[in-house]
Chains A and B, each alone.
Chain A
Amino acid sequence: MESLAHIPPGYRFHPTDEELVDYYLKNKVAFPGMQVDVIKDVDLYKIEPWDIQELCGRGTGEEREWYFFSHKDKKYPTGTRTNRATGSGFWKATGRDKAIYSKQELVGMRKTLVFYKGRAPNGQKSDWIMHEYRLETDENGPPHEEGWVVCRAFKKKLTTMNYNNPRTMMGSSSGQESNWFTQQMDVGNGNYYHLPDLESPRMFQGSSSSSLSSLHQNDQDPYGVVLSTINATPTTIMQRDDGHVITNDDDHMIMMNTSTGDHHQSGLLVNDDHNDQVMDWQTLDKFVASQLIMSQEEEEVNKDPSDNSSNETFHHLSEEQAATMVSMNASSSSSPCSFYSWAQNTHT
């Protein structure tokens, strides 16, 4: 009925998926005996891919696709295998089946297979690709293992560009992994920056060592000061002639000595605490407070000498030292008697 002789030059058989399934396969199933010159019957699994070219060709050298009908028979009663073996290799299904629609209705499914040379599961992949079309009206129905199918066989040459795209994707994925690795390194660096906290105790201990060293150096100074004090004492006593004036000064000196003594004791206590509990921050706070108080007192003492003349300043300092002696006498039982006796002698 349909003869290829009437096909004008320049026309070629390039059917769409819809045409293959909805026209050719449907008619093949409905009229099995009808022969179509454009698509022949072939037992796919008894020939090799390169044999299809001779069986299904029209004789022109411009063909790149070959179409044929094939009848699938179930090999095993309970098997659902998709591997089909030939003389020198096997066809292996790949990818997911694609649905074929005609006017918004499902008419068939397309399965893609690749030819491997050798024996399953090992084999050498070849460039022969086959699209197997089967009738299907329910996309989720059970798979049909027997019946007519129409196939298109071709060599994978035009899809070379598509093969490069996955490599690009791989490159992108590698890049992302690099970023992830870099972030991990950043986290590691962060851990490194936390180490200074562990070194804090060492720095504090270093400070303690420095304190001890300073203390050792200052111990030598007191000897010089003591000598100068002893030399000054006789001169101070000889210059005192007026008894009344001496009495008033004594009272003032006593008050100063009392306050000074208290502060010295405070300092000692703080110092002891500091040595015992180096790590105690509260002790350090108290120590700082005491230091502030002592600084203020020194300022008050310095202000008084500036108001007097040079000679009076000298007397003032000497009197302070004498007052210290009187204070020590007062602390003992014999001190009051001595003081009283001296006063009476002065009046007489």
Chain B
Amino acid sequence: MDNVKLVKNGVLRLPPGFRFHPTDEELVVQYLKRKVCSSPLPASIIPEFDVCRADPWDLPGNLEKERYFFSTREAKYPNGNRSNRATGSGYWKATGIDKRVVTSRGNQIVGLKKTLVFYKGKPPHGSRTDWIMHEYRLSSSPPSSMGPTQNWVLCRIFLKKRAGNKNDDDDGDSRNLRHNNNNNSSDQIEIITTDQTDDKTKPIFFDFMRKERTTDLNLLPSSPSSDHASSGVTTEIFSSSDEETSSCNSFR
């Protein structure tokens, strides 16, 4: 009775702070099962929309939050189980193994959950994006006595945000590391400059000292020569005097 009222009103009257954050069990048992059986839904929060008719970012609703849609599963071929679903700019590709949706009490399997990732481009050369879709379907088909039934599936589409945050952090760290490397390089350059300066200073000083030594060597041979000359002059003077005396005597 209450459920009917909520549906009829079309607008949920809930206290502030309540938001639609269902569990897998609630999605399958409370919403998908009733949808397949054409029973009234607890809340008209999930619209009907073919998720392959538009790209993830063009689906109705708030991009920042998880969005839920009832969609039909159309088989391309009578006997095929292909999971590729093409859209305008890309395709949904299944990843991993289908998980079982189990009730929290009796450990009873009530449905299956398939995880898909959206790729841009055309298969199999598409580029992976962060758009994720969880596709829920019932584990058993309803009795045929219920009449013609469609293959309803419940889809939850959202943007993978945690991984994005991690990437941002990693990029930041990489930048920091690069910054440190640059600092180290600068320090190394400074070291090299210092070495060059020292190398230039030493040779100049050393060469100057060598020049001094050369000059000293030039001086040393000259002094002995002077002394030698003085000695020679003294000796020769005496010889000359003797000869002159001899000449005078011979003349007379």
Say whether B217 contacts A10, CB under 8 Å: no
In A1-31, the 8 Å CB interface with B consists of 2, 5-16, 19-20, 23-24
B141 within 8 Å of A (CB atoms):
no
Complex interface: chain A residues within 8 A of B201 (CB)? 196
Question: What 0/1 pattern do residues 2 to 23 of B give for CB contact below 8 A with A?
Answer: 1100100000111111111111
A60 to chain B, nearest CB (A): 9
Stretch among A70-78, A106-114, A206-214 lining the B interface: A206-214
Say whether A9 contacts B222, CB under 8 Å: no
B205 within 8 Å of A (CB atoms):
yes
Cα–Cα distance between A15 and B14 once the two chains are bound (Å): 12
B209 to chain A, nearest CB (A): 5
Contact residues on A (Cβ < 8 Å of other chain), bracket: 35 or more
Say whether B209 contacts A203, CB under 8 Å: yes
Cα–Cα distance between A49 and B236 once the two chains are bound (Å): 127
**Could you say which of A11, A186, A226, A264 contacts B43, with CB atoms under 8 Å apart?**
A11
Say whether B251 contacts A287, CB under 8 Å: no
Say whether B21 contacts A267, CB under 8 Å: no
Say whether B236 contacts A10, CB under 8 Å: no
Taking A8-B6, A222-B228 as contacts, is the C-beta distance between A214 and B209 under 8 angstroms? no
B63 within 8 Å of A (CB atoms):
no
B96 within 8 Å of A (CB atoms):
no
- Count how many pairs of residues, one from A and one from B, have CB atoms less than 8 Å apart in the complex: 182
Cα–Cα distance between A21 and B126 once the two chains are bound (Å): 48
Q: Is the interface of A mostly helix, strand, loop or mixed?
A: helix
Say whether B239 contacts A233, CB under 8 Å: yes
Say whether B15 contacts A14, CB under 8 Å: no
Say whether A230 contacts B235, CB under 8 Å: yes
Say whether A8 contacts B3, CB under 8 Å: yes
In A307-348, the 8 Å CB interface with B consists of 321-322, 324-325, 327-329, 338, 341-342, 345
Say whether B236 contacts A345, CB under 8 Å: no
**Could you say which of A62, A203, A226 contacts B228, with CB atoms under 8 Å apart?**
A226
Complex interface: chain A residues within 8 A of B217 (CB)? 214
A161 to chain B, nearest CB (A): 8
Complex interface: chain A residues within 8 A of B74 (CB)? none
A81 to chain B, nearest CB (A): 31
Question: What 0/1 pattern do residues 206 to 237 of B give for CB contact below 8 A with A?
Answer: 00010011011111111111111101111111
B248 within 8 Å of A (CB atoms):
yes
B42 within 8 Å of A (CB atoms):
yes
Complex interface: chain B residues within 8 A of A287 (CB)? 215, 219
Question: What 0/1 pattern do residues 230 to 272 of A give for CB contact below 8 A with B?
Answer: 1001100100000000000000000000001000100110110
Taking A9-B30, A193-B194 as contacts, is the C-beta distance between A345 and B19 under 8 angstroms? no
Say whether A219 contacts B22, CB under 8 Å: no
Say whether B20 contacts A11, CB under 8 Å: yes
Pick the most buried of B3, B17, B190, B205: most chain A CB atoms within 10 A of its CB. Answer: B17
Stretch among B51-59, B85-93, B179-187 lining the A interface: B179-187
Question: What 0/1 pattern do residues 61 to 92 of B give for CB contact below 8 A with A?
Answer: 00000000000000000000000000000000
Cα–Cα distance between A168 and B173 once the two chains are bound (Å): 8
**Could you say which of B13, B42, B224 contacts A9, with CB atoms under 8 Å apart?**
B42
B247 within 8 Å of A (CB atoms):
yes
B111 to chain A, nearest CB (A): 15
Say whether B43 contacts A8, CB under 8 Å: yes
**Could you say which of B18, B104, B231, B248 contacts A11, with CB atoms under 8 Å apart?**
B18
Stretch among A88-96, A126-134, A135-143, A175-183 lining the B interface: A175-183
B98 within 8 Å of A (CB atoms):
no
A284 to chain B, nearest CB (A): 7
B45 within 8 Å of A (CB atoms):
yes
A79 within 8 Å of B (CB atoms):
no
A294 within 8 Å of B (CB atoms):
yes
- A residues touching B (Cβ–Cβ < 8 Å)? 2, 5-16, 19-20, 23-24, 36, 38, 61-62, 161, 165, 168, 172, 175-176, 179, 182-183, 186, 189-190, 193, 196, 200, 203-204, 207, 210-211, 214-215, 218-219, 221-222, 225-226, 229-230, 233-234, 237, 260, 264, 267-268, 270-271, 274, 284, 287-288, 291, 294, 321-322, 324-325, 327-329, 338, 341-342, 345
* Besides A6-B2, A8-B45, A15-B17, 16 other A-B contacts (C-beta < 8 A): A9-B30, A11-B19, A12-B21, A19-B17, A172-B180, A196-B205, A204-B209, A218-B224, A222-B225, A225-B232, A229-B232, A230-B232, A264-B229, A274-B219, A341-B248, A345-B248
